[in-house]
Structure 1
Amino acid sequence: MEMTLRWYGSKFDTVTLEQIRQIPGVKGVITTLYDTKPGEVWSRERIRALKDEVAAAGLRIAGIESVNVSDAIKTGSADRDKDIGAYIETLKNLGEEGIRMVCYNFMPVFDWTRTELARVREDGSTVLAYTQEAVDAIKPEEMFSSISGDMNGTVMPGWEPERMSKVKELFALYKDIDEEKLFENLKYFLEKIMPVCDEYDINMAIHPDDPAWSVFGLPRIITNQANISRMMKMVDNPHNGVTFCSGSYGTNPENNLPEMIRSLKGRIHFAHVRNLRFNAFERPDGSAVTSWTGEKIRKGKPDFEEACHLSADGNFDMYEIMKALYDIGFDGPVRPDHGRMIWGEKAMPGYGLYDRALGASYLNGLWEAIEKSQTRK
């Protein structure tokens, strides 16, 4: 396992490489060319400049998150082959610079959905949160304005203002796209890019949909073990893998996270590890659920908030998640995911320094304890 931190680049991130370098155990960053658009080729010169900047701070680029997939590719529209060609050129340039892991998603319109970016918790920290009631009560085109005031002056991935200004147009693009069509378009994309991934040994790590169910009627396909298995089988190449994000798969408390990890041995190329606290959850038919940890969740429309990484602060057993990664021999990059905003820090919600540094240290501590407990038997 390689502990990393996500970094958006010196022009966009309030957290500096020098600060990241001082987090115990963090040797690499997961980064991106944040000002590039889907369908745009990443030049080798810009990739090398980014790589050199990171190296000058004593760190390395452990992977890219994300090379965004265009809506033309996701919907299978007329421009998809042109955009896939640009994507392949980007992968070649990354491969030439020795970068071997790319995280991406195949979510329509919204990369992720939260209804609050600064829910105040009992300790005074603020977190990202989701309530189904809020989603049901709002129009899609009003989502951005409802949360933009809590972005602390930052531009959040998947919620770029110029993209959100075209939400109605985006929904029109996806009006005839259901889950089957989205799977078909994902298969087409993966089959086209696998040859360059094979040539440069680049692992493609698809990020799960967040939350793990349809929002505003949009199709969601990377949501559970059965759908991941389907994706693996339809393009059966070891470079076709996943980003295992505990917080995204875990939005459905019935997704057994350790079991899912063990079923994906050899195909997890990247891991986001974080915790959630459920205030309520129920199945679409209104029935109650028991989470994979055996905990009964209060019945009600989905309402969850992000927690600190400590198991006791949320509903996940973080030890079991990390142990499952250890048991399958996972040796790729891991990053603490969304953190709380604590100690008065102002940053991109979920992506401040302090709580993610605490998360990295906690996850490293769990890994060390698991490793020593296994090797000393």
Structure 2
Amino acid sequence: MNRRNFLSASGVGALAFGTGVPLPAEPSAASSHGSTKPVLMKLGCQSAPTTDAHLKYLARYGVKHICGYPQTSDGRIASTVEELSRMRELAEKNGIEILCVGPPILESSYIDREKHPAIMLAQSPERDRDIEQLQLLIRNCAQVGLPSIKYNMSILGVLRSGRVPGRGDASYSRWNLTEAKPKTPLTIAGQVDADAFWERITYFLDRIIPVANENKVRMACHPHDPGVPPEGYQGVDRVLGTVDGLKKFVSTRESEYHGLNFCQGTVSEMLPDPGTQIFDVIRYFGTRKKIFNVHFRNIRGHRNDFTEVYPDEGDVDMWKALNAYREVGYSYMLMPDHVPQVESDPAGLQSFAYCYGYIRGLIQTAQRIYGPRTG
């Protein structure tokens, strides 16, 4: 039986290896957008820590590419070449390649609890010292052969209004703007309107992107999660919380090394109808080669009112999303993120494992349809 007949007879044309996702019966039934392009993306993860035990857990579920977190001593921002090399070697011993580095600064944290807030607070000379440390980290990553760094430009961190029951004994994170109650009217940042936020972003990019260009290290920024109305939330206008804001961001200091840690869930949260709109957003940034990582997660709902769910039960067709990444030639990681919580699994390892299998199944199905087939 040839491959085409096998796909039809085995039901792969109707079901993606038990994921419940409808698939085209054969390549000719695929989208006209890049229907013959091969699958280049990889299953990945950005969960911490990058220890031998956690690396073995990742390898157990077929995760061969990750974002790593170096163990940096003395509270420094910039990991040394030796520290980065040790992390890379430990990963390689477990059959895993590190494609991205997460520094201990510019995380998705609330500014009042941030250890290094100066860049987002526009506090000089402290922010200049922190930027110099990130410049050093870029150079050290290049020397070790680590090709990307992820970061956030956030003041409010990840905003959520509560949790709701999910499948079985799982609970899901929820955001409803009308139900949200900030703990304080303002953060330590005070009022930060759009002009002030863009000034801080541009100040940072002016000093970071030239170093990224010189060292050929991709800088991947996460969008604001979630977006809020233009009048702001806790006094902050989250300018990277709209698709137009992300378009402005990637065109500011244009560079092939300046792009997005593209959280599909967060971008879906920006849209009135993510189930129909997310695919064109993927194509917009993907055709411009501005997607450096993907958080491949799903939501139920829309802007200002959504719930984070397992990837197979949200409003976005994840098979269609994967094919949008394939069409634009995306070649980096698809990673789970913000997985549902279970009381008996506080670290979320079971939920992550479910997502690894789901993503791996979609990728392998696409490889069998479009090629290339890999291990």
TM over 0.5: yes
For residues 339-361 of structure 1, the C-alpha deviation after alignment (integer angstroms, 9 at most, x for no partner) is 223583121xxxx2222222122
Q: Contact between 2:291 and 2:330, CA under 8 Å: does it hold in 1?
A: yes
Which of the numbers 238, 241, 264 marks the counterpart of 2:259? 241
Identify if the C-alpha distance between structure 1 residues 121 and 217 changes in structure 2 by more than 3 Å, giving closer, same or farther: same
Which of the numbers 113, 123, 127 marks the counterpart of 2:172? 127
Which of the numbers 354, 362, 366 marks the counterpart of 1:370? 366
**In 2, Cα distance between equivalents of 1:122 and 1:229:** 36
* Aligned-residue offset at 1:67: 5.0
Q: Contact between 2:311 and 2:355, CA under 8 Å: does it hold in 1?
A: yes
User: Structure 2 regions of 5+ residues with no counterpart?
Assistant: 1-40, 107-115
Match of 2:86 in 1: 49
The number of residues matched between the two structures is 314
**In 2, Cα distance between equivalents of 1:306 and 1:49:** 35
**In 2, Cα distance between equivalents of 1:220 and 1:242:** 16
* Aligned-residue offset at 1:331: 0.2
Which of the numbers 252, 255, 260 marks the counterpart of 2:281? 260
Match of 1:354 in 2: 350
**In 1, Cα distance between equivalents of 2:150 and 2:295:** 11
Percent sequence identity is: 21
* Aligned-residue offset at 1:43: 2.1
3-state DSSP of counterpart to 1:368: helix
Q: Contact between 2:160 and 2:174, CA under 8 Å: does it hold in 1?
A: yes
Match of 2:299 in 1: 276
**In 1, Cα distance between equivalents of 2:179 and 2:234:** 12
Instruction: Establish whether residue 96 from structure 1 lines up as the match of residue 111 from structure 2.
Output: no
Which of the numbers 308, 311, 315 marks the counterpart of 2:310? 308
Q: Contact between 1:207 and 1:244, CA under 8 Å: does it hold in 2?
A: yes
> Superposed, which structure 2 residues align to 1:40-189 within 5 Å?
40-69=77-106, 70-78=116-124, 79-108=126-155, 110-116=156-162, 119-136=164-181, 138-140=182-184, 171-172=187-188, 174-189=189-204
Q: Contact between 1:67 and 1:102, CA under 8 Å: does it hold in 2?
A: no
Which of the numbers 243, 249, 273 marks the counterpart of 1:231? 249
Identify if the C-alpha distance between structure 1 residues 18 and 374 changes in structure 2 by more than 3 Å, giving closer, same or farther: closer
**In 1, Cα distance between equivalents of 2:89 and 2:327:** 34
Q: Contact between 1:198 and 1:239, CA under 8 Å: does it hold in 2?
A: yes
3-state DSSP of counterpart to 2:248: helix
Q: Contact between 2:72 and 2:79, CA under 8 Å: does it hold in 1?
A: no
Q: Contact between 2:336 and 2:356, CA under 8 Å: does it hold in 1?
A: yes
For residues 301-330 of structure 1, the C-alpha deviation after alignment (integer angstroms, 9 at most, x for no partner) is x442211111xx111121221111111000
> Superposed, which structure 2 residues align to 1:194-233 within 5 Å?
194-213=209-228, 214-233=232-251
**In 1, Cα distance between equivalents of 2:371 and 2:82:** 44
Q: Contact between 2:77 and 2:103, CA under 8 Å: does it hold in 1?
A: no
Q: Contact between 1:277 and 1:315, CA under 8 Å: does it hold in 2?
A: yes
**In 1, Cα distance between equivalents of 2:266 and 2:206:** 25
* Aligned-residue offset at 1:127: 2.4
3-state DSSP of counterpart to 1:52: helix
Q: Contact between 2:161 and 2:175, CA under 8 Å: does it hold in 1?
A: yes
For residues 12-57 of structure 1, the C-alpha deviation after alignment (integer angstroms, 9 at most, x for no partner) is x9x7211110113x20221224778997322222222222222222
For residues 73-106 of structure 1, the C-alpha deviation after alignment (integer angstroms, 9 at most, x for no partner) is 2232212222111110111112111111111111
3-state DSSP of counterpart to 1:235: coil
One-letter identity of the residue aligned with 1:76: A
Q: CA RMSD in A?
A: 2.6
Higher alpha-carbon Rg: 2
One-letter identity of the residue aligned with 2:349: L
* Aligned-residue offset at 1:363: 1.9
**In 2, Cα distance between equivalents of 1:77 and 1:9:** 30
Identify if the C-alpha distance between structure 1 residues 303 and 361 changes in structure 2 by more than 3 Å, giving closer, same or farther: same
* Aligned-residue offset at 1:66: 4.3
Q: Contact between 1:261 and 1:324, CA under 8 Å: does it hold in 2?
A: yes
**In 2, Cα distance between equivalents of 1:212 and 1:74:** 17
* Aligned-residue offset at 1:190: 1.2
Match of 1:319 in 2: 319
User: Structure 1 regions of 5+ residues with no counterpart?
Assistant: 142-167, 283-301
For residues 151-198 of structure 1, the C-alpha deviation after alignment (integer angstroms, 9 at most, x for no partner) is xxxxxxxxxxxxxxxxx7xx23x2242112211221121121122212
One-letter identity of the residue aligned with 1:267: K
Match of 1:339 in 2: 339
Which moved further from structure 2: 264-273 or 54-63? 54-63
Which moved further from structure 2: 322-331 or 251-260? 251-260
One-letter identity of the residue aligned with 1:107: S
Match of 1:22 in 2: 60
3-state DSSP of counterpart to 1:8: coil
**In 2, Cα distance between equivalents of 1:176 and 1:37:** 33
One-letter identity of the residue aligned with 1:339: V
**In 2, Cα distance between equivalents of 1:3 and 1:51:** 18
**In 2, Cα distance between equivalents of 1:261 and 1:39:** 36
